C-alpha cells in the first residue's frame, strides 16, 4: 500500500533534511567512547556502541541527537577514512588472523587475511603492511583488511627501523649500480688525500661525506680546507643511478640501513676517506 508512495517518500526526505547533522573528525579515547570534533570550539559525544562503526581519525557526517539536553552523534556517512594503508602487528587465534594498527589510539584488532599473491604465511607477532578493504559506514558489517606485505618477525631487533621504512613506503635495500668513471666537467681538482682531515664521524663510519683541515700560515692566519664528497661528478644525468637518486630523494639515518646511492659508490669513490677521492679546497682567512 505504501510502496513507492510519493507522499511517504516526500515525508521521509523532509524528516531527513530537518534532522541536524554535523561533519567532523572522530577522536577516540581509551575508555571506549569518543567525540566528533567539528572545529576547535564544538564537539559531540559519540557513545561506545556508535564508536564501533568508526575509527579514530575518520572524517564523517553524523546525525545529532538531543536527549535530556545532552547532544550525541550517530555516525552516518564516511567522508574520508583514517586508515587506508597502514602497518601493524599480526595476531592469530583459532586459525584466524587480525592486525592491530601501530597507533596509540587504535587498540582494536582488525580481522584480516593475506592478500592474493602474498606468499608469506603470517603468524602471531609478525609485522605487516595492510590495506583496509571494508568499513561499517560503507555498508559492510565490520572492518576488514588485507595483509599486502610482510615486514619482519616479532623478535627482530631492527623492528623499529623496518616498521618506519614500511610505514613511509621506503626501500629496505640499497639501490644497485656502480659509478665507475668521473665525468669531465672541466673543473680543476687537487688530490688532497695526504692532508689529515678531521671529522666528527666515528672511527667505524665508512660513508663519510665531509671533513675539515686547518693549517696555520706563516703570517699567523689559519687556512681552513673543507672536504665535501662530490658524488655528482660520478653520476651522469639521466643514468640509472641519477634516476634512482631522484626517486629516493634522500637517505635514511637508520642502523644497518640505506645509502642514497649504491653501497660501493658511497664507500669508495664518493666518500671523503676513499684513497682515490679528490676534493675542492676553500681557503678562509
Q: Are 188 and 285 in a shared domain? A: yes
91 falls within a domain: yes
List Cβ neighbours of 124 (8 Å cut-off, separation of 6 or more). 90, 91, 92, 154
pLDDT at 151: 97
Domains in the chain: how many in total? Answer: 3
pTM, two decimals, is: 0.71
- Who has greater pLDDT, 248 or 105? 105
pLDDT at 209: 76
Arithmetic mean of pLDDT, 113-128: 96
Q: Are 179 and 243 in a shared domain? A: yes
CB neighbour class for 151 (10 Å; exposed up to 12, middle 13-18, buried from 19): buried
180 falls within a domain: yes
Q: Are 90 and 60 in a shared domain? A: no
- Who has greater pLDDT, 278 or 268? 268
pLDDT at 13: 67
CATH number at residue 68: 2.40.50.140
| Structural domain containing residue 13 | 6-80
Radius of gyration of the CA atoms of the chain, in A: 29
258 vs 111: CA distance, rounded Å: 33
Percent of the chain's residues with pLDDT above 70: 78
Q: Are 217 and 280 in a shared domain? A: yes
CATH number at residue 146: 2.40.50.640
Q: Are 212 and 148 in a shared domain? A: no
Q: Are 178 and 159 in a shared domain? A: no
Q: Are 141 and 217 in a shared domain? A: no
153 falls within a domain: yes
Among 52, 80, 108, the domain boundary falls at 80
Beta strands in 31-143 (DSSP E): 34-37, 43-46, 59-67, 70-80, 85-93, 96-101, 110-114, 127-134
Arithmetic mean of pLDDT, 209-220: 90
Element (H, E) at 224: strand 222-228
Q: Which three cell numbers stand for residue 214?
A: 686547518
Q: pLDDT by residue (tens digit) across 6-20?
A: 766 666 666 556 689
1 falls within a domain: no
Q: Are 71 and 141 in a shared domain? A: no
pLDDT at 127 over 90: yes
225 vs 140: CA distance, rounded Å: 66
Arithmetic mean of pLDDT, 126-154: 97
* Residue 281: band (very low, low, confident or very high) from pLDDT cuts 50, 70, 90: very low
Arithmetic mean of pLDDT, 220-247: 83
* Residue 187: band (very low, low, confident or very high) from pLDDT cuts 50, 70, 90: confident
pLDDT at 272 over 50: no
245 falls within a domain: yes
Amino acid at each position: 500500500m505504501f510502496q513507492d508512495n510519493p507522499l511517504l517518500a516526500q515525508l521521509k526526505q523532509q524528516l531527513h533534511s530537518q534532522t541536524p547533522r554535523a561533519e567532523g573528525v572522530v577522536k577516540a579515547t581509551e575508555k571506549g567512547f569518543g567525540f566528533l570534533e567539528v572545529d576547535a570550539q564544538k564537539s559531540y559525544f559519540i557513545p561506545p556502541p556508535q564508536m564501533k562503526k568508526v575509527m579514530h581519525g575518520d572524517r564523517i557526517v553524523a546525525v545529532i541527537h538531543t536527549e535530556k539536553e545532552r547532544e550525541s552523534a550517530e555516525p552516518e556517512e564516511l567522508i574520508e577514512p583514517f586508515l587506508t594503508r597502514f602497518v601493524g602487528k599480526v595476531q592469530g587465534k583459532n586459525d584466524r588472523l587480525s592486525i592491530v594498527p601501530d597507533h596509540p589510539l587504535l587498540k582494536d584488532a582488525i580481522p584480516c587475511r593475506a592478500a592474493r599473491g602474498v606468499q608469506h604465511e603470517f603468524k602471531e607477532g609478525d609485522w605487516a603492511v595492510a590495506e583496509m578493504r571494508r568499513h561499517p559506514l560503507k555498508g559492510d558489517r565490520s572492518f576488514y583488511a588485507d595483509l599486502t606485505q610482510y615486514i619482519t618477525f616479532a623478535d627482530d631487533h631492527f623492528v623499529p627501523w623496518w616498521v618506519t621504512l614500511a610505514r613511509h613506503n621506503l626501500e629496505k635495500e640499497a639501490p644497485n649500480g656502480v659509478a665507475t668513471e668521473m665525468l669531465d666537467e672541466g673543473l680543476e681538482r687537487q688530490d688532497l688525500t695526504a692532508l689529515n682531515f678531521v671529522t666528527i664521524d666515528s672511527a667505524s663510519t665508512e660513508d663519510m661525506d665531509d671533513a675539515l683541515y686547518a693549517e696555520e700560515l706563516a703570517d699567523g692566519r689559519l687556512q681552513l680546507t673543507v672536504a665535501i664528497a662530490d658524488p655528482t661528478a660520478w653520476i651522469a644525468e639521466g643514468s640509472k643511478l641519477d634516476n634512482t637518486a631522484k626517486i629516493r630523494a634522500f637517505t635514511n639515518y637508520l642502523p644497518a640501513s640505506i645509502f642514497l646511492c649504491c653501497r660501493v659508490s658511497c664507500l669508495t669513490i664518493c666518500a671523503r676517506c676513499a684513497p682515490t677521492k679528490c676534493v675542492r679546497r676553500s681557503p678562509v682567512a
